[in-house]
A and B are shown apart, each in its own frame.
Chain A
Amino acid sequence: MTQSRRSTILSIAWLALFTTALGAQTNGQGPKGPTTIGVITIETGGSADYGTYTKNGLELARTEMRDGGIRLVTKDSKENPQEAVRVFKELQAEGAPLVIGPFTSTEARLVGAEAQRVGMVMITTSATADELGTIGDHVFMMLPPNNRQGSDQAAFARDKLSATRAAILYRQNAYGLSLRAGFVKTFKAKGGQVTREEAFPDNAEEFRDHLRVLAAGRPDVLFIAAHDKDTGRILRQAKEIRFPATKFLGGDGSMSPAMIELAGDTAEGSIFSNVASLDPNFNRLYRERFGTDPSGYSATAYDALKIVGELVQKGITTSQGLQKALIGLQGHAGASGLTKFTRQGKSYWCLDKQYRQYEVKGGKFELIK
């Protein structure tokens, strides 16, 4: 065998070995090391506290699992959908078979489409916009769709609070729009009147103007479809302008310690919906570890990683395997209630989880029984 032929065979052998290793790596199953699980959340910018809730929930789960053969790689989306897709591709290149996140529905819409295209699995622990259901079977939501949440709050306003006139203030993004749509549909169907709706853009901090317009309709309730900081400021500013509504209602995006901190005593009596059971044991663990109360999103992130961790422990480490296992999940009882994925549209939701109403009393969220 000549020198040049030997070199050629060696080169081909190296190339084959390298390609095999690369293939194994991109499927998330390196020969020995832990499985890479990607996390996309918001670490910087105006909504960075949401990222903190998610990361804290994941951290708690990771500690309990003692890593469990998982290497978590967290990327910052900066609440920017394009950036979320970019970091998703980085995670794909790092061999992650599954991504937990991104946080907002606007980001999840684009990342979900990309995950579907490349055959990776996306589990969002917080995004709930209805249109996520149109993406595909690699997209999993830890919560039920927003439409149902808005609808439940409308039914609560009509049936329990006997409200006949409602005003709506919503953030103009996928989350706010779908929450608003669910509320309007059910409130009107139950004979209520929506006096006026006002939208505001992302990162708005001044709402007095919108509130004055809404106040003119003399609503019985004001439904706020917004993020937690928005709601905190809205409640404070509503008091400042002497807003006439007797009750303020909101969704899970508003239900966080940051909202209470910003709103102060003006949050008292406001009602928010959430699926999280806020399990006392989870609450205690979280408080001991981080010194604050958890958000519902900490609970969903905690459960998501626990579920993925259990699957990885069983040796399921490919995108295809994880997707099938998630679809077949018989029900995981965790901090956010029972997680069982059911197909609605093209994607999978936790339809078994029920939204429940929590009232702010003494600066804490108390379940309304």
Chain B
Amino acid sequence: MIPSIVDGVIASSAVVCLALAYGITYGMLGVMDLTLSARFASAAFASWWVAQTFYASKNPVFAPAVWIGAIGGATILTVLLWMAMAPLTRRAPLVVLIGSLGLVTMTEAGFQAVFGTTAKVFTGYPTETGVFFMGTTATPLQLTAAGYAILAVLLTAIVLANTGFGDKLHAIAEDPEVARCVFGLNVAKLTRQAILFTALLIGPAGMLYAVSHGATAVTGHNFGLIAFISTIVAGRRRPLAAAGIALVLTVLGTVFTRWNMAEWIAFTTVTCSVVIMAHQLIQRRKLTVRARAALYGTALVGGIVLAEALANFALRTLPEGGQSYHIPSAYQPLFPYLVIGVALLWRPKGIFADSKERMV
């Protein structure tokens, strides 16, 4: 059980970075801009181009140049797309949504015209062999991507909580009209700055993803939608929660077909019971938010470890066939949508939304 969860966490790095970016553009600024996956692809292509150019010349600035290329590629496309998108933002949100979808299609065609149809592979980067890590294997590149995702989350948290720019973004997120009229904020300028900040978040993520998967015109499309949906499930003005939901959805998607029935039963009974009991104890005490989060986290991890031990014990007593009883992988794509449906039925305004907020 635990190795599957670790795999899910490692695999979620790109989705988490995109969800953070959507959490800012849609969650805070209210712009239904779906072009972030195209920007992700632009970072992939730009870093590939820089890598191929510098690798051939054995230039010593190879590694930093690739990172700068990724951020540069994402930034340039972000500026270009925003120039096209900005006039639409004065109209209804759905106009922005449809306009952004049109821009994604155009960008995809443009990438294909420039870079061709085959996947662009970073030929200088060797094929990695995974190292053993917490019961599973992970490549150094995957661990770097996971480390970058953590860095992106921390950076976003610091910018939003501890800077004047973050305060202004929160003000715009609360009410753009009040931010403009009462606080005298230049909403258009701050929006541009926030959009550029998202390029910084997704640029390196696009590069790290493309190194192992190759860059194509549709790179990033697979998880762009999951990232956007995570923002909706998290609720407005919650970019960090959107990243958290993206992580949870990816992990659940990973374990969905990996776990056998014994593991599922152990998880749904033991882990959930431990968490519910912890909830009963925690809610009766006056604790700080951080203390509550730590206790909930401990209960969840403890519950999973206990469930793992019980599942392993049960599996030893079962015949060989008991282990192979899995949910067929054909149903895996349905799983995130099932979770999203249940989550929005439970909290239609988003899981972390305030009760006074409007329906999403």
Seen from chain A, the residues whose Cβ lies within 8 Å of a Cβ on chain B are 44-46, 48-49, 51-52, 172, 196-201, 203-206, 208-210, 212-213, 217, 229, 232-233, 236-237, 239-242, 257-258, 261-262, 264-266
> Is A233's CB under 8 angstroms from B127's CB?
no
**Which residue of A has the minimal Cβ distance to B331?**
A199
The smallest C-beta distance from A165 to any residue of chain B, in angstroms, reads: 13
Chain A neighbourhood of B329, CB < 8 A: 197-200, 210, 213
Chain A neighbourhood of B258, CB < 8 A: 209, 212-213
Seen from chain B, the residues whose Cβ lies within 8 Å of a Cβ on chain A are 3-4, 7, 11, 108-109, 112, 116-119, 121, 123, 127-130, 136-137, 139, 142, 212-214, 216-219, 221-222, 254, 257-258, 324, 326, 328-330, 332-333
Give 6 A-B contacts (CB < 8 Å), ordered by A residue. Answer: A49-B118, A206-B213, A240-B127, A240-B142, A241-B130, A265-B127
Chain B neighbourhood of A206, CB < 8 A: 11, 213, 222
Q: When chains A and B are docked, how far (Å) is the Cα of A233 from the Cα of B333?
A: 19
> Is A239's CB under 8 angstroms from B129's CB?
yes
> Is B7's CB under 8 angstroms from A201's CB?
no
The smallest C-beta distance from A83 to any residue of chain B, in angstroms, reads: 13
Q: When chains A and B are docked, how far (Å) is the Cα of A254 from the Cα of B158?
A: 46
Given A44-B108, A240-B127, decide whether A262 and B214 contact each other with a Cβ distance below 8 A: yes
> Is A258's CB under 8 angstroms from B257's CB?
no
**Which residue of A has the minimal Cβ distance to B220?**
A205
> Is A258's CB under 8 angstroms from B330's CB?
no
Q: When chains A and B are docked, how far (Å) is the Cα of A258 from the Cα of B218?
A: 16
| Extra contacts besides A48-B217, A203-B222, A213-B257 (10): CB < 8 Å | A45-B217, A52-B116, A200-B332, A206-B213, A208-B7, A209-B11, A209-B258, A212-B136, A240-B139, A266-B127
> Is A209's CB under 8 angstroms from B326's CB?
no
Chain A neighbourhood of B3, CB < 8 A: 212
Chain B neighbourhood of A199, CB < 8 A: 328-330
Chain B neighbourhood of A49, CB < 8 A: 117-118
Given A44-B108, A212-B258, A261-B121, decide whether A196 and B137 contact each other with a Cβ distance below 8 A: no
> Is A46's CB under 8 angstroms from B121's CB?
no
From B112, B123, B137, B324, give the contact of A48 (CB < 8 A).
B112
The smallest C-beta distance from A238 to any residue of chain B, in angstroms, reads: 10
From B109, B116, B213, B257, give the contact of A233 (CB < 8 A).
B213
Chain B neighbourhood of A45, CB < 8 A: 108, 217-218
Q: When chains A and B are docked, how far (Å) is the Cα of A48 from the Cα of B216?
A: 10
> Is B130's CB under 8 angstroms from A242's CB?
yes
> Is A239's CB under 8 angstroms from B333's CB?
no
Chain A neighbourhood of B219, CB < 8 A: 205
Q: When chains A and B are docked, how far (Å) is the Cα of A229 from the Cα of B217?
A: 13
Q: When chains A and B are docked, how far (Å) is the Cα of A45 from the Cα of B109?
A: 8
Q: When chains A and B are docked, how far (Å) is the Cα of A262 from the Cα of B112?
A: 17
**Which residue of B has the minimal Cβ distance to A261?**
B121
Q: When chains A and B are docked, how far (Å) is the Cα of A48 from the Cα of B109?
A: 11
The smallest C-beta distance from A195 to any residue of chain B, in angstroms, reads: 8
From B7, B129, B332, give the contact of A242 (CB < 8 A).
B129
> Is B221's CB under 8 angstroms from A261's CB?
no
> Is A232's CB under 8 angstroms from B108's CB?
no
The smallest C-beta distance from A237 to any residue of chain B, in angstroms, reads: 8
Q: When chains A and B are docked, how far (Å) is the Cα of A229 from the Cα of B119?
A: 8
Q: When chains A and B are docked, how far (Å) is the Cα of A49 from the Cα of B324?
A: 37
Given A258-B118, A262-B119, decide whether A239 and B127 contact each other with a Cβ distance below 8 A: yes
Q: When chains A and B are docked, how far (Å) is the Cα of A212 from the Cα of B130?
A: 12
Given A172-B330, A258-B118, decide whether A46 and B218 contact each other with a Cβ distance below 8 A: yes
> Is A209's CB under 8 angstroms from B121's CB?
no
Chain B neighbourhood of A261, CB < 8 A: 118-119, 121
The smallest C-beta distance from A198 to any residue of chain B, in angstroms, reads: 5
> Is A236's CB under 8 angstroms from B11's CB?
no
Chain B neighbourhood of A44, CB < 8 A: 108-109, 112, 217
The smallest C-beta distance from A178 to any residue of chain B, in angstroms, reads: 15
Given A200-B329, A229-B119, A264-B121, decide whether A208 and B127 contact each other with a Cβ distance below 8 A: no
Q: When chains A and B are docked, how far (Å) is the Cα of A48 from the Cα of B118?
A: 8
Q: When chains A and B are docked, how far (Å) is the Cα of A229 from the Cα of B121?
A: 11
Chain B neighbourhood of A209, CB < 8 A: 7, 11, 254, 257-258
Chain A neighbourhood of B116, CB < 8 A: 52
Most chain B CB neighbours (cut-off 10 Å) among A198, A240, A262: A240
> Is A196's CB under 8 angstroms from B119's CB?
no
Q: When chains A and B are docked, how far (Å) is the Cα of A242 from the Cα of B139?
A: 10
From B137, B139, B216, B257, give the contact of A46 (CB < 8 A).
B216
Q: When chains A and B are docked, how far (Å) is the Cα of A197 from the Cα of B127?
A: 26
Chain A neighbourhood of B128, CB < 8 A: 239-240
> Is B119's CB under 8 angstroms from A232's CB?
yes
Chain B neighbourhood of A258, CB < 8 A: 118-119
Most chain A CB neighbours (cut-off 10 Å) among B3, B142, B218, B254: B218
The smallest C-beta distance from B122 to any residue of chain A, in angstroms, reads: 10
Given A204-B222, A206-B11, decide whether A240 and B333 contact each other with a Cβ distance below 8 A: no
Chain A neighbourhood of B216, CB < 8 A: 46, 229
Q: When chains A and B are docked, how far (Å) is the Cα of A332 from the Cα of B212?
A: 43
**Which residue of B has the minimal Cβ distance to A51?**
B117
Chain A neighbourhood of B129, CB < 8 A: 239-240, 242
Chain A neighbourhood of B221, CB < 8 A: 203
Chain B neighbourhood of A262, CB < 8 A: 119, 121, 214
Q: When chains A and B are docked, how far (Å) is the Cα of A205 from the Cα of B3?
A: 21
> Is A240's CB under 8 angstroms from B11's CB?
no
The smallest C-beta distance from A78 to any residue of chain B, in angstroms, reads: 10
**Which residue of A has the minimal Cβ distance to B113?**
A44
